[in-house]
A and B are shown apart, each in its own frame.
Chain A
Amino acid sequence: MSGVGTGDTTAVRTHPHRARAAVVTGALAVLLGVLVLLGLALGDYPLGSLDVLRVLVGAGGDDFASTIVLQWRLPRVLAAVAIGAALAVAGALFQSITRNPLGSPDIVGFTTGAYTGVLVAMTLVPGFVGGFAGTATAALVGGLLTAAAVLLLSYQRGVQGFRLIVVGIAASAMLQAVNTYLLMRAQTEVAMTAAAWGAGSLDLVGWAQAAPATALFAVLGVGVVLASPLLRQLELGDDFAAAHGVPVEPARLGILGVGVALTAVATATAGPIAFVALSAPQVAKRLVRGAGLPLVASALTGAVLLTGADLVAQHALPVALPVGIVTIVLGGVYLLALLVGGARARR
């Protein structure tokens, strides 16, 4: 009897969290599906959701509709989903490692650094062949160098959250100045291309960008899955992780490296998109209400945020805006709310 009783209480104790996480994840997935359908259906040539579904499963529909959906709208929507998820996971990795909700790649300057890398390659490297591979490499180099510089500069007997954030703010400010300078000294055509995604935009994304980006995200996703047990151990404290045989410093550097790579590929595809990495993991954490940052729910939240923001950017205003402007305004408001709310909680 007593054994059954204990079993029951354990089940009751763990069950609500698991159930909540499952319900939240399911709801986010459904919401994402709806947004994806909307993204495929809306536009200058509106389609019914049934038409879209028919094209997607390959069951007819006219050729024109299938061209619009598969060639024009699908790469953009797919990129929004993948980039949103990638940025959110990168944010969760960073926030987890720095143990600070504000230690995300956009705040500490890596996103700006990745953009700087692309601009340097475009405007200063002679014979730079654009294309996705070149752009992604340049963004990765820029992001990694910025990451290394920010971490080194904020290192004083360990990396402390406060110093990391302030050094990151300084690095962003300086790199933004460099970016503006590079754009102004560039040839007009180069500057136009570079500035087009300077605010973070999905306007120029076709299959040529969306396909390799999604493939890279998938590879990095495997890395994230492999790293997640280490991440959970590190979340419990360095000593705990070390006692369980985790090589603490290499694990931490490896996880940060995956985070930087995710950010760099996202930036190479769509330009610097601010505040998704910051807000998505925190929103997901509040929705799931578990301990630690939920990676799957974060990825779904990020995908929902970016897909939704791109719909707003394309259709909500009389003129289409870069999606980066929508995320910067929404994310900035969210950051302010986080700061005010956090201050209240600590009172």
Chain B
Amino acid sequence: MAGVTRAHVRTRRGRWGVLAVAAVVLLVAVVASLAVGSRPVPPAGVWAALTGGDVPAADAAAVVGLRLPRTVLGLLVGAALAVAGAVIQSLTRNPLADPGILGVTAGSGFAVAMSIAVLGVSTPAGYVWFALGGAFLATVAVYLVGTLGRARVDVAQMLLGGMALTAVLAGIVSAIRLTDPEDFSALLVWEAGSFQARGWDVIVPVLPFALVGLAAAPLLGPALNALALGDDVASSLGTPVVATRLGCVAVIAVLAGSATALAGPIAFVGLMIPHAARWVTGPDQRWVLGLSAVLGPVLLLVSDVVARVILWPGEVPVGIVTAFLGAPVLVVLVRHRRMVGQ
């Protein structure tokens, strides 16, 4: 298929087939995420540990106590970021959009860091609201910077706006952390996304928000398909244009916000995955959203496994790995004129 850009699977059966293959790949990624680490456990041992079979206590502790919550984290964050990326690319008509690159996750992380440092919020249940609010404000801000004063969205303008926003907010967070490195070590997570030391205590309070966002996104699919034809055509087809846009902003804020509350700002997942999904299924948003929700976790789980082995026996933040993998994709996309249209 090398060099073929219109490789879309067009039949319904073919698309379900693709989805099934993606699901199998996801299963493999889940097993790898449970098995790989500074204490490797063979797949059979993983199964035994999960079903309460007879395994060494240390293996069981590693799999059930450490890697199971981490894998759930990867599933949630990956799906949330990939779907948020698909929606934000569609909303902004910007193929280079991504909640991380555009500064949405930075806004979210900044709000959380401020709530921790200034208001003394300490529990995930408390700061998840700040994560959502910060993501919402950043989405609106970036959308305004990118669309200000012109009918067409300016892709470069939007990217630079996101970069500037990220730089300012991350700079303030690290300034706050540097004023008291010991008390504010918790803020490190909000500078580079990481799955380290994030357990059920973080997952449980954020889970409902992530699930609501993931459930709401597919509802936008048909309206986004209509909006792709232009605002006028969409409204003549009976699509409520403004309501759809507001819905998109809300879904992006909920998904990117909960992903950030779970793992800190992680970039490039929302850029890469929707492009991969669109490449396979074609421009139908319903399929792009669905396939993104499966492929996003694959990317994040694989990145997390890489993050665990690359500095064996230590590990690096998973956001580092996604940035390293994702940046070349951005270069390829921008060299591909048709995709960017500038």
Contacts and interface: CB of A to CB of B under 8 A. Distances in A.
Interface of A: 102, 107, 153-154, 156, 161-163, 165-167, 169-171, 173-174, 176-178, 180-181, 184-185, 199, 274-275, 317-319, 321-322, 325, 328-329, 331-333, 335-336, 339-340, 342-344, 346-347
Interface of B: 96, 101, 145, 148-150, 154-157, 159-161, 163-165, 167-168, 170-172, 174-175, 178-180, 192, 267-268, 310-311, 314, 316-317, 320-321, 323-324, 326-328, 330-331, 334-335, 342
A343 B157 contact: yes
Nearest to A106: B167
Nearest to A346: B149
Contacts of A107: 160, 163
A176 B322 CA distance: 12
A173 B311 CA distance: 20
Majority SS at the chain B contact face? helix
A18 to B, nearest CB: 34
A170 B335 contact: no
Given A335-B160, A339-B164, A167 B321 contact: no
Contacts, number: 136
Most interface-central of A180, A321, A346, A347 (chain B CB within 10 A): A180
A328 B167 contact: yes
B106 to A, nearest CB: 11
Given A180-B192, A329-B175, A335 B164 contact: yes
B316 A180 contact: yes
Given A328-B167, A329-B167, A346-B150, 6 more contacts: A154-B334, A178-B324, A199-B174, A325-B171, A335-B167, A347-B148
Nearest to A345: B149
Nearest to B311: A185
Contacts of A153: 331, 335
Contacts of A328: 167-168, 170-171
Nearest to A344: B149
Closest 10 A/B residue pairs (Cβ): A332-B168, A174-B327, A347-B149, A343-B148, A335-B164, A170-B330, A328-B171, A177-B323, A332-B167, A170-B327
Contacts of A102: 156, 160
A266 B192 CA distance: 26
A170 B335 CA distance: 12
